[in-house]
Amino acid sequence: MTNVPVSVAVCGLGEWGPNLLRNLLQNELCHVTALCDRDKARATEYARIHNIKSVYDSVDHVALDPYVNAVILATPAGFHEEQVRTLLDAGKDVLVEKPLALTLDGARDLVKLARAKDRILMPGHTFLFNSVVRRVKRELNAGTLGKLNLILAQRMSLGRVREDCNALWNLAPHDISILLYWLDMMPVTVTARGIAFHEGYKQEDIALCILEFPGTIASVQVSWMNPVKVRQMTLVGSQRMLIYDDVSRDRPLTLYDQRIEEVPRVHGKGTMEEFELRARRGAETSITVEQREPLAEEVSHFLYCVDSREQPLCGGDQALRVMSVLEACQRSLRNGGQAMTPEPV
């Protein structure tokens, strides 16, 4: 570790970029020295407010800035692959918002290039830095739920409608990155259906995916056509159940001591036919988890990796595994819901 602040540029100051900028400005591990947005007036205004020296309207110009070591990209998904390549080629370390690219091959090329150039490349899988998501992982490792049978993931709200990718690529990277982190394995097959409701627009507004893991099944529902914001993951184990509700401020994680169990029928004689399945309802416990803003953790992790040259938790093969599952879902979506196997990475 050098502990010399990293010189950083932020590209894309639309809805999400300013959140990254705010966290970077509060982080002692870096100096923000440049801003970039195709809409230069936007970047100029943020630069004026925060007294940032250089302003650009193209990532190509950021790539040429010798004072910039690392770049945070929050531009639309359709630009990621090309812009990340330009920045890696120029020797910059890159934190790129999800999705890393819009094809698995594109992502593979980027990971290969980052390795060849010895650069840090990290996709913004923000939820891996969420303390509730990490707490769930600890509960799974401790066996609190018994055998994990099912995970239902829902990420739905009204808007924001994207034009360069569908709801699957826009929203599901989060759920898929969480699932792979929790389960620490790849699904064997995936099936997905999607619906593009608006004539003339080819992007699916809703995607419904089933991911079959050895011993566990997961469903992922994503939509930008839902009346209310839902970000919930339900985990059903043989012994207990958990609900992670990312929208709830006061109760993000609840453990349910309930299950379906096999019990002798009343008046039974003890033979197999004399058993039945019955719901056992038990206590409901809200688990308190101390939370820091996940984006602050994500940015700190990236800056730590830039300084120490350690590989990020969600870079390299981890990033490609998420892309591989996304792409398998996309193939299924475009083939009427046929089962697909994610490619090995």
Ligand X SMILES: NC(=O)c1ccc[n+]([C@@H]2O[C@H](COP(=O)([O-])OP(=O)(O)OC[C@H]3O[C@@H](n4cnc5c(N)ncnc54)[C@H](O)[C@@H]3O)[C@@H](O)[C@H]2O)c1
Q: How far is the CB of 267 from ligand X (least distance, A)?
A: 56
Nearest Cα residue to 181 out of 149, 141, 215, 236: 141
CB of 62 to ligand X, least distance (A): 9
- Binding of residue 124 to ligand X (CB under 6 A): yes
Interacting stretch for ligand X, rule CB under 6 A, among 74-82, 185-193, 230-238, 320-328? 74-82
Tell me the two tokens of residue 102. 């819009």
Residue 36 binds ligand X, judged by CB under 6 A: yes
Dist. CA 329–CA 324, nearest whole Å: 9
Q: Which residue is nearest to ligand X (CB)?
A: 14
CB of 145 to ligand X, least distance (A): 26
Out of 5, 76, 316, 337, the residue judged to bind ligand X by CB under 6 A: 76
| Residue 97 within binding range of ligand X, rule CB under 6 A | yes
CA 51 to chain CA centroid, nearest Å: 32
- Told to check if 17 binds ligand X by CB under 6 A, we report yes
Q: Considering the rule CB under 6 A, would residue 155 count as an interface residue with ligand X?
A: no
Residues in the chain: 345
Residue 208: CB partners within 8 Å, gap ≥ 6?
Answer: 192, 193, 194, 219, 220, 221
DSSP state of 238: S
Extract the tokens encoding 198. 């608006």
DSSP string, 292-340: --HHHHHHHHHHHHHHH-PPPTTSHHHHHHHHHHHHHHHHHHTTTT--B
Please state, in angstroms and rounded to a whole number, the distance separating the CA atoms of residues 16 and 323: 21
232's enclosing H/E stretch is: strand 225-237
- Quick check: 77 binds ligand X (CB under 6 A)? yes
Of 300, 244, 304, nearest in space to 4 by CA: 304
Minimum CB distance to ligand X, residue 260 (Å): 35
Give least dist CB 202 to ligand X, A: 18
The answer to whether residue 120 forms part of the interface with ligand X (CB under 6 A) is no
3-state SS class at 270: coil
- Report the residue number, 14 or 316, with the smaller CB distance to ligand X: 14
Q: Does residue 12 touch ligand X according to CB under 6 A?
A: yes
Q: Nearer Cβ to ligand X, position 75 or 324? A: 75
Taking CB under 6 A as the criterion, the residue among 37, 93, 204, 307 binding ligand X is 37
Place of tokens 């770049």: 71
Give Cα 196 distance to the centre of its chain. Answer: 23
- Decide whether 36 or 90 has the Cβ nearer to ligand X: 36
Do residues 111 and 304 lie in contact, with contact meaning Cβ atoms separated by under 8 Å?
no
Out of 22, 25, 38, 226, point to the residue binding ligand X (CB under 6 A).
Answer: 38
75 contacts ligand X (rule: CB under 6 A):
yes
Q: How far is the CB of 139 from ligand X (least distance, A)?
A: 23
CB 225 within 8 A of CB 211: no
Count of residues of this chain found to bind ligand X when the rule CB under 6 A is applied: 23
Using CA atoms, how far apart are residues 171 and 155, in angstroms rounded to an integer?
A: 7
Does residue 62 belong to the site contacting ligand X (CB under 6 A)? no
Q: Does 166 contact ligand X by CB under 6 A?
A: no
Interacting positions 218-237 with ligand X (CB under 6 A): none
For the bound state, the minimum distance from the C-beta of residue 14 to ligand X, rounded and expressed in Å, comes to 2
Of 27, 33, 86, 126, the one binding ligand X (CB under 6 A) is 126
Residues that bind ligand X (CB under 6 A): 11-17, 36-39, 42, 59, 74-77, 79, 97-98, 124, 126, 170
